[in-house]
Amino acid sequence: MTTAPPRPQRITLADFHEAARAVLPADAYDYLEGGAADERTVRWNAEAYERLALLPRVLTGTSGVDTRRTLYGTELPSPVLLAPTASHGLFHPEAEAATVRGAAAAGALTTVSTFSTLTLEEIGAAATGPWWFQLYVQRDRALTADLVGRARAAGASACVVTVDTPVTGLRERDLRNGFALPSHGTPANLAGVDGAADRDNSDPAHRGIHDPRIDPAVGWSDLEWLRTVSGLPVLAKGVVRPDDARRAADAGIGVWMSNHGGRNLDTAIAPLTMLPAVADAVAGRVPVLVDGGIRRGTDVVKALALGADAVAIGRPYVWGLAADGAEGVTAALRALHRETELALALLGAPDLASLTPDLVRPAR
Ligand SMILES: Cc1cc2nc3c(=O)[nH]c(=O)nc-3n(C[C@H](O)[C@H](O)[C@H](O)COP(=O)(O)O)c2cc1C
Ligand SMILES: CC(C)CC(=O)C(=O)O
């Protein structure tokens, strides 16, 4: 009898990154990893965490750490969520079904992209844990309302509206590779929308830069409309400015700070840099989430210390998905969770509420 070879030990998110790189076709890997233009913002997102040092408290008499966080009434064992990422079929044959199962096994909440490979109904049927729906508002508002209604019926408990993508960024890796999303077919939820139409430059109103599957002309009134039409909590994803954050909070809309993982506007600021000012503007009225460049438990605690209620990761859980399917998603989340617990313990912080700004200073 032959036994299966032992799976290589993957301890850090970087280990999952290497495994994903080894297994993915080059163009899918580039789509996943890539940022816009010179990828400065991709680097800045990570560097923003590297530039901060921690000031641990000692002799706090702490034993055991509590990393639970409640968001919109859902208690999560960890403050780390899965950010929405498109087209999981590019990364694993079980696509989003593997993602939601893997996340649920770690107790984590998944945000499902409008551009998922599977339908919202298929994902809802596979989900055994909480999930939110990420919406790209459609030019057709009836279709938009239909998408949100389907998501809710399938089990989504919040609607995350992406507000930083009136156009997609200049993804030069994809251009060089001749890669267009999705290479394997139409995103299932947008089956009736022709994704190629805007490549026809004859329509001067669009000038060929817009994706017909994303309405560029979304405004604040659309978010308020979505709150009414969905009956769900609504968050705006892609906020980095305190004035926008204040406006969202005034309207009861959650603030998800992001620059889309550096994939849209290159040289856009790292959200972490703006987090203290945004947290100040929001003043606890709505949840503040932040994503971009989070790769270590120490990154998680820095974001929470500076005012985030929770954080989200994008590429890292997709590395887990590509490497080992649902199990890889679970293992990647567990690795980050363990690091987060260790960071809290070493900081002398018994729980997330004791992560306060005095724990963080510029490293130099
Ligand atoms: C492959 C990929 C696809 C993405 N697709 C979406 C999407 O469909 N909707 C969205 O709002 N954000 C999308 N994002 C952005 C993520 O939600 C998130 O903001 C970003 O990945 C966070 O940065 P990180 O990858 O450094 O963790 C995508 C990111 C990646 C890497
Ligand atoms: C279809 C794309 C707009 C998905 C996306 O947000 C991304 O690739 O960053």
pLDDT for 264-309, tens place per residue? Answer: 999 999 999 999 999 999 999 999 999 999 999 999 999 999 999 9
| Ligand in closest contact with the CA of 132 | 1
206 is catalytic: no
Q: Is 110 exposed, middle or buried (0-12, 13-18, 19+ CB in 10 A)?
A: buried
Q: Whose CA is nearest to atom 8 of ligand 2?
A: 86
ipTM of predicted assembly, 2 dp: 0.99
pLDDT, one tens digit per residue, over 207-234 is: 578 888 999 999 999 999 999 999 999 9
Of the residues 88, 92, 210, 260, only one is catalytic, namely 260
Q: Is the pLDDT of residue 165 over 50?
A: yes
Q: What is the mean pLDDT of residues 156-167?
A: 97
| 182: confidence class by pLDDT, cuts 50, 70, 90 | confident
Q: Is the pLDDT of residue 15 over 60?
A: yes
From the CA of 264, give the closest atom in ligand 2: 9
Establish if 246 belongs to a structural domain.
yes
User: How many separate domains does the chain show?
Assistant: 1
Q: What is the Å distance from ligand 1's center to 27 Cα?
A: 17
For 336, phi then psi, to 5°, come to -70, -35
Establish if 16 belongs to a structural domain.
no
Establish if 264 belongs to a structural domain.
yes
Q: Is the pLDDT of residue 204 over 60?
A: no
What is the length of the chain?
Answer: 364
Q: What is the Å distance from ligand 2's center to 64 Cα?
A: 40
Mutate to test the pocket of ligand 2, among 96, 116, 165 (most ligand atoms within 8 A of CB): 165
**What pLDDT does residue 40 have?**
98
Establish if 276 belongs to a structural domain.
yes
Q: Is the CB of 92 under 6 A from ligand 2?
A: no
Q: Is the CB of 88 under 6 A from ligand 2?
A: no
| 192: confidence class by pLDDT, cuts 50, 70, 90 | confident
Identify the three-state secondary structure at position 10: coil
Establish if 225 belongs to a structural domain.
yes
Establish if 60 belongs to a structural domain.
no
Establish if 70 belongs to a structural domain.
no
pTM of this structure: 0.96
Q: What is the Å distance from ligand 2's center to 296 Cα?
A: 24
pLDDT, one tens digit per residue, over 320-332 is: 999 999 999 999 9
**What pLDDT does residue 5 have?**
73
Establish if 58 belongs to a structural domain.
no
For 239, phi then psi, to 5°, come to -85, 135
Averaged pLDDT of the chain: 94
* Residue 264 belongs to domain spanning: 75-362
Q: Is the CB of 187 under 6 A from ligand 1?
A: no
Q: Give the count of beta carbons closer than 10 Å to the beta carbon of residue 53.
A: 13
Q: What is the Å distance from ligand 1's center to 346 Cα?
A: 31
**What pLDDT does residue 1 have?**
60
**What pLDDT does residue 3 have?**
75
| 44: confidence class by pLDDT, cuts 50, 70, 90 | very high
Q: Percentage of the chain with pLDDT > 70?
A: 95
pLDDT, one tens digit per residue, over 27-43 is: 999 999 999 999 999 99
Contact, 206 vs 225, CB < 8 A? no
Tokens of 105: 């096994």
Q: Whose CA is nearest to atom 5 of ligand 2?
A: 86
Identify the three-state secondary structure at position 70: strand
Q: Using alpha carbons, select from 215, 71, 236, 226 the residue that is nearest to residue 148.
A: 226
| 200: confidence class by pLDDT, cuts 50, 70, 90 | very low
Contact, 339 vs 54, CB < 8 A? no
Domain with 355 in it: what CATH number?
Answer: 3.20.20.70
Contact, 263 vs 184, CB < 8 A? no
Mutate to test the pocket of ligand 2, among 181, 198, 213, 214 (most ligand atoms within 8 A of CB): 181
**What pLDDT does residue 201 have?**
46
Q: Is the pLDDT of residue 2 over 70?
A: no
Contact, 293 vs 48, CB < 8 A? yes
Rounded-to-integer distance, Cα 236 and Cα 234, Å: 7
| 206: confidence class by pLDDT, cuts 50, 70, 90 | very low
Mutate to test the pocket of ligand 2, among 263, 266, 315 (most ligand atoms within 8 A of CB): 263
**What pLDDT does residue 312 have?**
99
| 194: confidence class by pLDDT, cuts 50, 70, 90 | confident
Among 57-61, 187-191, 246-250, the least confident range: 187-191
Q: What is the Å distance from ligand 2's center to 167 Cα?
A: 10
Q: What is the mean pLDDT of residues 141-160?
A: 98
Residue 82 amino acid letter: L
| 70: confidence class by pLDDT, cuts 50, 70, 90 | very high
